Amino acid sequence: MGDGIKHLLSKVISIVTASNGTVMVDEIDTGLHHTVMTDMWRVLIKTAKRLNVQVFATTHSLDCVRSLAWLHEQEPDICQDARLHRVDIDYDKTTVYSAEEIAIAAKHHMEIRG
């Protein structure tokens, strides 16, 4: 197995072992090719929902954000609870985007990352 699959498997295992809890993942897209990120989101979100796990993930990757947007376009029910929090050093609070807003931003090539 390549490193990307190992990283994805480790994230899934983390979710499975955190049933009814939370999982925090720094740079969720590390080691993954952009072509598999939509599938990554699908697997992680479905697994988290099934096991009642809240996932907090960071990324700087536009491909990763767009992949979540594409998943929302394909299967909106899966992403209904997904949120992106943009962290800006100049603000006291994060700016929160719903899955629908993430999809709109991706469609119009708007930058929503911090």
56 neighbors 27 (Cβ within 8 angstroms): no
In a domain, 113, yes or no: no
In a domain, 114, yes or no: no
pLDDT at res. 2: 77
The model's pLDDT over 42-73, given as tens digits with 9 standing for 90+, comes to 999 999 999 999 999 999 999 999 999 999 99
Q: What are the CA-CA distances from residue 23 to residues 49, 54, 58, 65 (Å)?
A: 12, 6, 12, 19
Q: Is the pLDDT of residue 1 over 70?
A: no
| Number of domain units in the chain | 1
pLDDT at res. 114: 76
In a domain, 89, yes or no: yes
In a domain, 83, yes or no: yes
pLDDT at res. 39: 95
In a domain, 71, yes or no: yes
Range of the domain at 87: 3-107
Q: 25: which residues sit within 8 A by CB, 6+ positions away?
A: 11, 14, 55, 56, 57, 58
The pTM score is 0.90
